[in-house]
Structure 1
Amino acid sequence: MPRSDGASGPAGPQGATALLIIDMQNAFFEDEKLARVQQPLVGACNNLIDAARRGGAPVIVARTEHLSDRSTWTLSMLDDDQGFIFEGSHQADVLDGLRVDGLETVTKTRDSAFFGTHLATRLRTLGVERLVLAGVSTHNCVAHTGADAFAHDFRVSYALDAIGSTNDQYAEAMLEILSVEYRQGIVGQAEAEALLG
């Protein structure tokens, strides 16, 4: 996947950049493919968090959580009659080693961190105009959050070294669409850290 800076439009003053860490929770790393890259992803996310803290950039952690009473379940969960990542469960816990203590959290029940949450309002209150996205999975929650960020007029960069997927082919196709059609940047670790600094 080619990397790009996602720049577009006329030059001008920019608002703040925030880091959004998505679904770095035990449940998603039950998948064998993600389990194999868990430690590198945790390390890359921690480096982004450290860069954001040094640069004074906001960091928000988006977590998926469902209620066992089925009221928050997606259509596929209802169709399969199988719940997932319940509130208070080990599945819902953030991965060991991810340094998110004290960081603001958004709890979501759908792929996009914007759906049914206060995220857009919170980002605007913080003066944020650009997001660096990290976490899992690239072609699901990360991509849907990025697409919704575009709809809410936030510029987005994907920290390629800090995102993971259960399907490389889907991930590459989705990132290409987001990069070309939405003009969203695909950046390496150093570039992502620089955006937050």
Structure 2
Amino acid sequence: MTAHPAEALLLIDLQEAFFETPALAEARTEMVDAVNALAASARRAQVPIFLISTEHSRDRSTWTLSMLEDDQGYLFHGDPSSAVIHELDTAGMTRIEKTRDSAWFGTDLLLRLHNLAVGRVLIAGVSAHACITQTARDAYANNIRATIITDAVADERTDHKETVLDLLVADRQAVLARTQEVVDRWRG
């Protein structure tokens, strides 16, 4: 297989807690099927895969403003809700933990991608209006191109998904693709 060192696949927040909302629970099977197809294709094409999850400390040191204001933390290390969804084949994936919407904030993602000479990230996961959008915008801020895989992205606010993706495209901060397009391209 031909390696694609200029690209990496970022899988965002595929954790049990995020699929407790009705909209994400409904989208789960279709989205996970698309993500697993992307991951299998990436493995065959030797595209690095980063599994990026959110975890917080019980001591409040990683809590967001809204968590502090509400005095309610979540996604604590070791809690069942923080676990990666069981349907996801995580073989060969590199794990990165984050505490904010962006996969770049407070992580070593940029260093890792620079070390791999990655110039484009392909983004899948949840949620489109928050973590997906912020990760794509910060990729742009770091001079790394972003492609969002639309059928491998879901949102608990279904009416927001299309709007935020359209904004990213209009701002020239991301392009959109579908799973099959990416799989076909990686297949060569």
Identity of aligned residues (%): 41
Distance 1:68 1:53 in 2: 35
Q: Is the 8 A contact 1:130 1:154 kept in 2?
A: yes
Structure 2: tracts of 5 or more residues without a match: none
Aligned pairs for 1:13-92 (under 5 A) are 16-92=6-82
Give CA-to-partner distance per residue, 1:108-152, whole Å, 9 cap, x none: 000000000000110010110011100000111011000000000
Aligned length: 184
1:15 shift after superposition: 5.6
1:191 shift after superposition: 1.5
> Which of residues 145, 149, 166 is equivalent to 1:159?
149
Q: Is the 8 A contact 1:17 1:196 kept in 2?
A: no
Give CA-to-partner distance per residue, 1:144-175, whole Å, 9 cap, x none: 00000000011111101100001122221111
Residue equivalent to 2:118? 128
1:117 aligns with 2:107: yes
Structure 1: tracts of 5 or more residues without a match: 1-13
Distance 1:20 1:132 in 2: 6
1:101 shift after superposition: 3.2
Residue equivalent to 1:7? none
Q: Identify the structure with bigger relative contact order (alpha carbons < 8 Å, sequence gap 6+).
A: 1
Distance 1:82 1:40 in 2: 31
Give the TM-score of the pair, scaled to structure 2: 0.94
Q: Is the 8 A contact 1:15 1:130 kept in 2?
A: no
- Classify the secondary structure of the residue corresponding to 2:52: strand
Distance 1:195 1:114 in 2: 26
Distance 2:58 2:108 in 1: 23
1:191 aligns with 2:181: yes
Residue equivalent to 1:145? 135
1:82 shift after superposition: 0.6
Q: Is the 8 A contact 2:13 2:125 kept in 1?
A: yes
Structure 2 residue identity aligned to 1:115:
F
1:194 shift after superposition: 3.7
1:56 shift after superposition: 0.7
